[in-house]
Amino acid sequence: MLDLFERDDSVRYCSDCVNEFVESEKTCRGCRRRLSRVLRSAYERLLLSRPLRELGEAVAAGPPRVPTDLVRVKVAQGLAEAQTFLEELRFIGLEAVPGSDALDPFNDPEAIGIYVHACDREAAGYLLQGLKPSDPLADPPTPDRDPRADALDAARAFGAFGKYNDALRVLGQLGDDGEALGLAAEMLLLAGRVRAAERYAIDAADARLPDRERGCLLAQAGLMKALGHDGTPFGEGADLRGAAGVLADAVAFAPRVLRVGKVLAEVLDGLGDREAFVRELRRLEKVNANLVVRDGIWRRQFLSTAF
């Protein structure tokens, strides 16, 4: 019964080193990054994640299976309207699916199909027919939005819908923005274009970027180099030696980004280079001791290599 009263509290943390901070702190002094807030369950998943294996397995699995009896009941104009339609349909228990690159035949990037099972067509059509577009003047005024942040949010939303081409279109408007370049490489990867994503990340890292952003892009390139042609971690076509070299450069540029070091550790483990693997784990322990203190795969690997 006590489990019913457990709350998933929020955590202030640094998105680079993933260290947890007290409420009064606003900035990570080591990384010089403004702190973010997330639910503790999400923080724990982020801390203990294995970026290479998890992303590679998702790519290798391919896109989610799409039911064969889907029918389009509405064409939303823009992301906000699409999300509203999906929420309304799901609220009444219908399985609603947004149009992806594979489902939608439109060239209009603002047109997003809304699909349901054929047996739910009538109920969905009746509900959506009664929905009126929201009046923007009815909402209270909000502070001016950051166009860059809006573009990144839109690209992530398009990616969540499986509309990777639209995500890339939006990100292309941001030019040589380090975060946008990294997200574009990830969109190419999720679209199943592993080698194209690898080349994109390598080329993007040559842009005039701060060290951290360059290191993160090189880490993406190294991760992709360690994937097989179909995305399988260490699968056919993977170049682990080449990946280790790229990732060593990535760590040199972004030593405090925990994700970068994790990917290098995963590759070194895949290579069977125990000495280098232990050395990298011990370096990561100095960046964030929680990585090897919290129970999980990293702690088990750390304890198995302790001497």
pLDDT in tens, 166-224: 999 999 999 989 999 999 999 999 999 999 999 999 999 987 899 999 999 999 999 99
Residue 39 lies in a domain: yes
Is the CB of residue 236 less than 8 Å from the CB of residue 229?
Answer: yes
Can you give the pLDDT at residue 299?
87
Q: Domain range spanning residue 8?
A: 2-45
**Predicted pLDDT at 5:** 44
Number of domains in the chain: 1
What does the pLDDT read at residue 109?
76
Q: Please tell me the least confidently modeled range out of 48-57, 139-148, 226-235.
A: 139-148
In a domain, 69, yes or no: no
Enumerate residues 6+ apart whose C-beta is below 8 A from 216: 178, 182, 250, 254, 257, 259, 260
Q: What is the DSSP letter of 227?
A: B
Which of the pair, 126 or 135, is modelled with greater confidence?
Answer: 126
Least confident residue range of 11-20, 63-72, 149-158: 63-72
Q: Which residues pair with 21 in a beta bridge?
A: 12
Domain contains 238: no
21 domain residue, yes or no: yes
- Kindly report the pTM of this predicted structure: 0.84
Is 285 part of any domain?
no
Give, in order, the Cα–Cα distances in Å from 112 to each of 28, 216, 235: 40, 32, 35
Residue 94 lies in a domain: no
Backbone φ and ψ of 113, nearest 5° = -70, 145
Greatest distance between any 2 Cα atoms in the chain: 67
pLDDT band at 106 (very low <50, low <70, confident <90, very high): confident
Considering only residues 241 and 295, tell me which one the structure prediction assigns the higher pLDDT. 241
Residue 12 lies in a domain: yes
Could you tell me if residue 8 is inside a domain?
yes
